[in-house]
Structure 1
Amino acid sequence: MEPHIFAITLAVEDLDASVAFYRDGLGLPTAGIVGTEFPGSETEPAGRVAMFQLASDVTLSLYPAGELAKDAGVPGSYTSGHGFSLGHRVPSPRDVDRLLAAAQAAGATVVGRVGERPWGIYSGYFADPDGHLWEVVCFLP
């Protein structure tokens, strides 16, 4: 397998609120919610999803948790929990602080400590409205 991730899909409880957080709060570009013509059913997943095109040809998708579970054919417990973090790199410590403040103003919770680490980074974490953990990091010279 070639090590290339092209999409990351986050399970969300409220798609509209999550789109507002990522689009309006963090400024990520999106066409908005698409796939509404596929309503789904009790057993078939609906198509309603939002996608954000990121750098390096990576797509961040937001999909309602129950629909993601149906699409994957797994119990809902598979789409809960947050045993990972996503990293966002910025050029300076000041940019880390600015992005954390913008995320908090948009509804995120800044968690843990913010500052310089002994291994040569300055970083801080926020949890989006669904609890997905993001690290905002800058590598120090």
Structure 2
Amino acid sequence: MQPSISVITLAVDDLAKAVAFYQEGLGLPTKGIVGNAERDTQVAFFKLNNNLKLALWPRQSLQRQTGCSVTGHGVLLSHNVATRADVELILNTVSAAGGVINKPAHEQPWGCFGGYFTDPEGYTWEVTFNPKTVG
């Protein structure tokens, strides 16, 4: 069996606000919020690449569904882009949509150009351009 990740699920405190951020701030396609809040099945899915999906699920619902404590933000998600200009564009867009820029775009010590932001729920993202992967 070939291991793969098909869904990355993030627990959020405000589902509508989180959906708006990912849809408007990052331009991720979604059908919006689906499921039933009373049955703890309310969730939003976003299509990523290679059949990978990002799911946003209300924290309390996810805790009840899984029986696990869902606290903290120990996740760094990386978004690789095609150009240096794309790094700047995305950081500006997410900032305007409510994200917090933790570290602006800069030359990174490993030869990439990137920056870091935190979304409104506190998850940390890296936006990076790697010149070695161009062409």
Taking structure 1 as the reference length, the TM-score comes to: 0.88
Q: Does 1:25 align with 2:25?
A: yes
Q: Please give the per-residue CA displacement for 1:12-59, whole angstroms capped at 9, x wherever unaligned.
A: 0000001111112221100000012x622xxxxx11100001001101
Matches of 2:67 and 2:55 in 1, distance apart?
18
Match of 2:52? 58
Q: Please give the per-residue CA displacement for 1:89-111, whole angstroms capped at 9, x wherever unaligned.
A: 10111100100000000000000
- Equivalent residue runs for 1:3-42 within 5 Å: 3-36=3-36, 39-40=38-39
For the aligned residue pairs, the C-alpha RMSD in angstroms reads 1.3
Aligned partner letter, 1:63 = W
- Equivalent residue runs for 1:78-97 within 5 Å: 79-97=70-88
Taking structure 2 as the reference length, the TM-score comes to: 0.92
Matches of 1:101 and 1:113 in 2, distance apart?
10
Q: How far 1:113 moved relative to its partner?
A: 4.2
Matches of 2:98 and 2:17 in 1, distance apart?
10
The count of aligned residue pairs is: 132
Q: Please give the per-residue CA displacement for 1:43-81, whole angstroms capped at 9, x wherever unaligned.
A: xxx111000010011010000001111111123xxx221
Aligned partner letter, 2:106 = G
Runs of 4 or more off by more than 4 Å in structure 1? none
Matches of 1:13 and 1:72 in 2, distance apart?
16
Matches of 1:117 and 1:74 in 2, distance apart?
36
Match of 2:109? 118
Kindly, what percent of the aligned residue pairs are identical? 44
Matches of 1:65 and 1:72 in 2, distance apart?
11
Q: Does 1:98 align with 2:92?
A: no
Q: Please, which runs of 5 or more residues in structure 1 have no aligned partner?
A: 41-45
